[in-house]
Amino acid sequence: MGWKQAYGVWAKFMTASSLMVVVLAAGMGTRMKSSHAKVMHQVGGKAMLGHVLGLAASLGADECAVVVGPVMDEARELVMSYSGDQPSKDQIPSVQIFEQTERLGTAHAVLAATEALKQRHDGHVLVLYGDTPLLTQAAIDGLVQELEAGASVGVLGFEANDPTGYGRLIRGGDGGLEAIVEEKDATETEKLVTLCNSGVMGFKASSMLELLESVGNDNANGEYYLTDAVQLARGKGLSAVVTVCDEEDVLGVNDRVQLSEAEAIFQRRARESAQRGGATLIDPESVFFAADTIIGRDVVIEPHVYFGPNVSIGDDVTIHGFSHIEGAEIEAGAVIGPFARLRPGARLGEGAKVGNFCEIKNADIGPGAKVNHLTYIGDAEIGAKANIGAGTITCNYDGFFKHKTIIGAESFVGSNSSLIAPVTLGNGCYIGSGSVITDNVPDDALAVTRADKRVMETWAARYRRSQQRKKDALTAKKS
């Protein structure tokens, strides 16, 4: 970043008004047919409410008020995880939770946070929704800029392919926003308007409460509409404006069909972002990302790869097909799969290899180490350039507790070996194939626990004849 760009960012930060975000998340979402609140259902491995709270943090909100319904403990816990001042995380300095016990409309929902709004004498307030996980900072920047320029009320709108069911945004001759008309209250002429209300609104904090407390419920549903604030503001001589975003940015999720639509849009965006960032996706539509997946440059991802939450991938990594990765950190030049599973706590050093039908859990695989075939490594440390043979298992669980296996640098573990944790194998040691290791092995030692070979001549032939006679006798008896 050059000095002019840096100055622009600094200047914007120093001149921007303070921002409060109100998130409406009280709906239980009966159409989801779920025991979980609607906003807790996930898109990209992250709760929809988490997406919206993350947006509030990225917008630089210094305060967030979240309106939830009764018995929404999951949502409350998630909300409070965003409270704090850590700049490296999605954190908001002040977070409060308010409960809406009755559902009497969107204005009623916002007024559930009256206690917080009363303390807001300057700056701006944005109203967002916990079931719109695709909304981005770019989509909402124009609304924030209009508030900065002096608008008292701002509405985020979109041009609808099919406006049926949406509130229509009615503009005046001056281009300003005159009113928002719900479809049930719209005239036939107003129903022809395709510029529709997303529900996302912004207010000048100093006039917001007065407007909302003036909202009535003289409408077809007998509810208190937040959208009525536009007409009330115009009646008081205050400015109201509309900014426009893409329709998919404000997709609301009310059932599992719409949830899958939101997931599809999220994945399309994530795939495009990965490719534009320097990754090669052989078959993009078969690769699935999480909201927090980090991918370096010159990464190659083959078909049918799934990323769960908390995955970080360095440069020049190759991920072969049909691999499942979650909670893993992968350094530059590593090779994974095909058919590999990396579980939470898996950490692969530079140039490490984890091959087909291997599972890694809570384990460090050192630089250049190889775990290539049919192997389980859990609760372990594998030293640099160690080689773990096919079928090796770290036996980390005794039925009550987890135990750790440590394998030194440049050690060689032969195929089909069982390492009974807790156990430490020194640097440069060899483990003979088929061994069961229960004690520590020193550096540069060979450990073999196989039984001595016994050869019993003609035993197999005699056994087959004996078993055949028994079988023949049973057959004769049945006949």
| pLDDT for 433 | 96
Q: Which of 225, 250, 275 delimits the end of a domain?
A: 250
Residue 34 falls within a domain, yes or no? Answer: yes
Residue 37 falls within a domain, yes or no? Answer: yes
C-alpha 264/C-alpha 250 separation (Å) is 14
Q: Which two tokens stand for residue 119?
A: 């303390």
Same domain, 373 and 228: no
| pLDDT for 87 | 65
| pLDDT for 277 | 97
Residue with tokens 């129903």: 191
Same domain, 275 and 413: yes
- In total, how many domains does the chain have? 2
Q: Are strands 329-330 and 376-382 parallel, antiparallel or unpaired?
A: unpaired
Q: Which of 138, 137, 84, 100 is nearest to 23 (CA)?
A: 100
Instruction: Report whether 137 contacts 58 (CB < 8 A).
Output: yes
C-alpha 76/C-alpha 342 separation (Å) is 31
Q: Among this protein's residues, is 373 annotated catalytic?
A: yes
Same domain, 227 and 262: no
Q: Which of 232, 214, 202 is nearest to 139 (CA)?
A: 202
Cβ within 8 Å of residue 475, ≥6 positions away: none
Q: Find the CATH number of the domain harbouring 363.
A: 2.160.10.10
Q: Which two tokens stand for residue 445?
A: 């030692």
Same domain, 38 and 145: yes
| The residue type at 322 | F
Rounded (10°) angle between helices 137-148 and 48-58? 50
Same domain, 299 and 205: no
Same domain, 243 and 262: no
Same domain, 228 and 121: yes
| pLDDT for 13 | 40
C-alpha 12/C-alpha 235 separation (Å) is 32
Q: Which of 200, 215, 250 delimits the end of a domain?
A: 250
| pLDDT for 222 | 86
| pLDDT for 16 | 62
| pLDDT for 451 | 83
| pLDDT for 120 | 85
| The residue type at 266 | F
Same domain, 304 and 235: no
Cβ within 8 Å of residue 351, ≥6 positions away: 331, 332, 333, 334, 367, 368
Residue 10 falls within a domain, yes or no? Answer: no
Catalytic one of 36, 324, 373, 403: 373
Same domain, 261 and 242: no
Q: Find the CATH number of the domain harbouring 120.
A: 3.90.550.10
Cα angle vertex 310, ends 309, 313, to 5°? 115
| The residue type at 219 | N
As a dihedral over the C-alpha atoms of residue 294, residue 297, residue 300, residue 304, rounded to 10 degrees, the angle is: 20
| pLDDT for 88 | 62
Same domain, 265 and 246: no
Q: Which of 217, 250, 283 delimits the end of a domain?
A: 250
| pLDDT for 126 | 97
C-alpha 156/C-alpha 160 separation (Å) is 13
Residue 467 falls within a domain, yes or no? Answer: no
Same domain, 221 and 354: no
Residue with tokens 């205050």: 238
The whole model's pTM is what? 0.90
| pLDDT for 267 | 98
Residue 98 falls within a domain, yes or no? Answer: yes
| pLDDT for 1 | 41
**Domain region containing 307:** 256-447
Q: Which of 27, 127, 133, 106 is nearest to 70 (CA)?
A: 27
Residue 473 falls within a domain, yes or no? Answer: no
Same domain, 315 and 199: no
Residue 190 falls within a domain, yes or no? Answer: yes
On the question of a cis peptide bond just before residue 338, with omega within 30 degrees of 0, the verdict is yes
C-alpha 198/C-alpha 193 separation (Å) is 14
Residue 9 falls within a domain, yes or no? Answer: no
φ/ψ of residue 126, rounded to 5? -105, 140
Which residue numbers in the chain have pLDDT < 50? 1-15
